Structure 1
Amino acid sequence: MNTQNTASFRDTPARYDAVSRAFHWLSLLLLVAQFSLGWLMPDADSVKASTGLVAWHVGVGTSLLAVFTVRLLWAAMRRAPGPVDQHGALQFLAGAVHVSMYLLLLLVPLLGWLNAGGRGWTVRLAGVWYIPQLAMPDSWGASIGEWHSASVTVLLILIGLHVFAVLVHQIGFRDSLLRRML
């Protein structure tokens, strides 16, 4: 570990603020719910209207998009802890995984919203408030369900890498990285 860079980050907080931590863990809870609903709901190609588990999936997806959008806005306004002191290649990989996860946390629900509109499904924020369709029924939006599913798979892989890296830091490096988000 390079201790030269450690001193330059003393003016940054040692951990994320309470609001950032709350957004992080709320996002995780919504993702677990969303992946569970996506796994349990019937095949979307056979569904004519967003009811039952499909309606819950759409509602949680729009909630996740809203929470994540506010989370990004909050992140832009606050000072984050400095980067972890680690090898440059690991620093680059961590940054690439984080940026990719952030992009997919926006892209996946947007693709779902487009797909739902293309199928003619009603889309509601948190399952309550109607929001406009991004695609009209029977349009190209109905055909991007595979993109939505594929991007979910990539997101799951990235989340797995993220969790693995946290465990390596916590157990292998013993640098208490996890404390930053607790």
Structure 2
Amino acid sequence: MTGWLDTPQRYGRISRAFHWLMALLFAWQFAGALLYVGIGDTALTRFVGGSHFTLGFTLFVLVWLRGAWGMANLKRRPAHAGRSGRTVKLGHGLIYALMIAVPSLALLRQYGSGKPFSPYGIPLMPGRETKIEWMMVPADLLHYWLGFTLLAVVLGHTAMAFVHRRLQKEDVLARMT
């Protein structure tokens, strides 16, 4: 199992695979959302955004798997000590909370809409004729804004990896590459 599990020096192959796969999928999600906001409903936005529901569900599953994997490796992971460590833990906690909340709201809205949902052809939510309005309201109010809040936090997370490297001479990025 050498190299697969996390160590105090760096994250293992499985943690890194989760991280970079999810980073790539989130980049695609955010690209679609930004294109839609920037240029509206076009062939390009439909192409990029056409996978939004299925990809959001995929990310929802991956965040739970990644969280479980992280908890299983918690005692082996690189440490974040001191005041900076508390800030790192809060930042990561915020990212995880948003990665769970944003698709949870979308799934709640999807169920409330009465429309069927079958990601990858797997029937998760059957269709029905009636809507459940109270299920749709929270996502209508928050999914968009929390999604862009997640984007801002992820950009801050990325920037901090470079700040740590340049200003604090800690190569935290090497732990995840």
Q: Which TM-score band applies after superposition, normalised by the shorter structure?
A: 0.7 to 0.9
Answering whether residue 13 of structure 2 is matched by residue 13 of structure 1, we say: no
Deviation of 1:38 (Å): 2.7
How many residues of Structure 1 are paired with residues of Structure 2 in the alignment?
A: 160
Identity rate, percent: 26
SS in 2 for 1:130: coil
Please tell me whether the aligned partners of residues 8 and 79 of structure 2 are also in contact (alpha carbons under 8 angstroms): no
Please tell me whether the aligned partners of residues 41 and 53 of structure 1 are also in contact (alpha carbons under 8 angstroms): no
How far apart are the structure 2 equivalents of 1:28 and 1:80?
23
Deviation of 1:76 (Å): 1.6
Match for residue 124 of structure 2 among 119, 125, 131: 131
Any unmatched runs of 5+ in structure 2? Answer: 1-6, 38-45
Change (3 A) 1:153 1:102: same
Deviation of 1:138 (Å): 3.9
Which letter maps to 2:123? Y
Q: CA RMSD in A?
A: 2.6
Which letter maps to 2:117? V
Deviation of 1:52 (Å): 7.0
Structure with the larger RCO, 1 or 2 (CA within 8 Å, 6+ apart): 1
Please tell me whether the aligned partners of residues 37 and 56 of structure 1 are also in contact (alpha carbons under 8 angstroms): no
Deviation of 1:54 (Å): 5.9
Which letter maps to 2:77? P
How far apart are the structure 2 equivalents of 1:142 and 1:35?
22
Please tell me whether the aligned partners of residues 113 and 131 of structure 2 are also in contact (alpha carbons under 8 angstroms): yes
How far apart are the structure 2 equivalents of 1:115 and 1:38?
18
Counterpart mapping for 1:33-52 below 5 A: 33-41=28-36
Which letter maps to 1:35? F
Aligned to 1:115: 109
Please tell me whether the aligned partners of residues 161 and 173 of structure 2 are also in contact (alpha carbons under 8 angstroms): yes
Aligned to 2:40: none
Change (3 A) 1:53 1:151: same
Give the alignment's TM-score, normalised by structure 2: 0.78
Aligned to 2:100: 106
How far apart are the structure 2 equivalents of 1:176 and 1:162?
14
Match for residue 25 of structure 2 among 30, 39, 50: 30
Answering whether residue 79 of structure 2 is matched by residue 83 of structure 1, we say: yes
Give the alignment's TM-score, normalised by structure 1: 0.76
Please tell me whether the aligned partners of residues 62 and 124 of structure 1 are also in contact (alpha carbons under 8 angstroms): no
Match for residue 173 of structure 1 among 157, 168, 172: 168
How far apart are the structure 2 equivalents of 1:171 and 1:128?
46
How far apart are the structure 2 equivalents of 1:33 and 1:177?
24
Please tell me whether the aligned partners of residues 34 and 57 of structure 1 are also in contact (alpha carbons under 8 angstroms): yes
How far apart are the structure 2 equivalents of 1:99 and 1:148?
18
